Structure 1
Amino acid sequence: MIRDACAADAAACAAIYAPFVSDTWISFEIEAPDEAAMALRIADYAASHAWLVAEVDGKIAGYAYGSPHRTRAAYQSSCDVAVYVDPAFARQGFGRALYDALLPRLAGRGCHAAFAGIALPNEPSEALHRAAGFTPLGIYREVGWKLGGWRDVGWWQRLL
């Protein structure tokens, strides 16, 4: 089931996200947000764009959200998107289901273009975005330093 996230989902979302922060360069954050910080993110992004969770038998399998792309006024109709799936539920279609629910919701809220940054290499994420209709735009080379090395970020876009 795909549904709107609420504050009660913050602990599960934080638990899903934490290993991506601490063990990979998929997220460029250095410190994983705790439950309280995640609850604030859920509230902020749900109000401005959308934050959805995939729930299976009462367990959160993953989440996806839209957020502002940039702060200047002309960017108001663009958004950034992200999806994170618990590794226990990986490659079962949850990422695609989340995007299939999120992207129309964002379009309904006036978003015209969605952008996703993918820290490279990350073939599973690239495949997901390709399947969800995103096209690659280019690569920011050596844009972030994480886990002892410079990391590239590929940028993808989908017009909504």
Structure 2
Amino acid sequence: MHVRVAAPTDAAAITAIYNQGIEDRVGTFEIELRTEAMVASWFDGRHPIVVVEAEQAVIAYASTSPYRQRACYAGIAEFSVYVRRDWRGKGAGRLALSHLMHECEAVGFWKLVSRIFVENDASRQLMRSLGFREVGIYEKHGQLDGVWRDVVIVEYLFARNLAQV
């Protein structure tokens, strides 16, 4: 496996992986499948996206997006990590997220945040192993297929970038 910064030409592969996550109902409240054009819009020049490749194919990605529109939050990004079904549990998610963290620190973000379904033990363990802190739980944060779901809030602070703010 190797990791690299994603390009808009990766949108089709990222879309396929994200749609698997939507279908599997394990990592997102989303229920409508994404299109390649929707994913291509993520490439805004500010928010890093990385992909992991193996066997000449994209097998995982990690992406960032704006946290909030207010200027005071400009240094915070939300992130997501998704792995192709047949590569889950093999380290691709760790590789994607660790590289995304380096990219985010390099461009000046001071914090990464996300929310994870409380029962998603694999994702929660990955976050802890990379130094993310579980901040708390949003109870009944949203419904997925008519069932209320709780999410745990995670954050990672880039100390070097905090000192420069």
| TM-score with structure 1 setting the length | 0.92
How large is the Cα RMSD of the aligned pairs? Answer: 1.2
Contact conserved, 2:20 with 2:84, CA < 8 A, in 1? no
Deviations 1:104-129 (A, max 9, x none): 21111111111121023100110111
Q: How many angstroms apart in 2 are the aligned matches of 1:76 and 1:40? A: 19
Unaligned runs of 5+ in 1: none
Q: Decide which of 119, 131, 135 is 1:133's aligned counterpart.
A: 131
Q: How many angstroms apart in 1 are the aligned matches of 2:151 and 2:12? A: 28
Q: As a proportion of its length, which structure holds more helix?
A: 1
Contact conserved, 1:25 with 1:147, CA < 8 A, in 2? no
Q: How many angstroms apart in 2 are the aligned matches of 1:134 and 1:93? A: 17
Unaligned runs of 5+ in 2: 159-165
Higher mean C-alpha displacement, 13-22 vs 141-150? 13-22
Identity of aligned residues (%): 34
Match of 2:90 in 1: 92
Q: How many angstroms apart in 2 are the aligned matches of 1:25 and 1:133? A: 22
Shift of 1:148: 2.2
Shift of 1:132: 1.1
Q: How many angstroms apart in 1 are the aligned matches of 2:35 and 2:109? A: 29
- Which amino acid is 2:125 matched to? A
Match of 1:101 in 2: 99
Write out aligned runs for 1:12-91 (5 A): 12-41=13-42, 43-44=43-44, 47-91=45-89
Q: How many angstroms apart in 1 are the aligned matches of 2:101 and 2:73? A: 17
Q: How many angstroms apart in 2 are the aligned matches of 1:69 and 1:38? A: 17
- Residues 90 and 25 of structure 1: is their aligned pair in 2 closer, same or farther, counting only changes over 3 Å? closer
| TM-score with structure 2 setting the length | 0.90
Question: Counterpart of 2:104 in 1: which secondary structure?
Answer: helix
Q: How many angstroms apart in 1 are the aligned matches of 2:84 and 2:26? A: 16
Q: How many angstroms apart in 2 are the aligned matches of 1:154 and 1:112? A: 20
Question: Counterpart of 2:41 in 1: which secondary structure?
Answer: helix
Deviations 1:30-74 (A, max 9, x none): 211111211222x22xx1120000011211110001221111111
Runs of 4 or more, structure 1, over 3 Å off, are none
How many pairs are equivalent? Answer: 157
Contact conserved, 1:21 with 1:32, CA < 8 A, in 2? yes
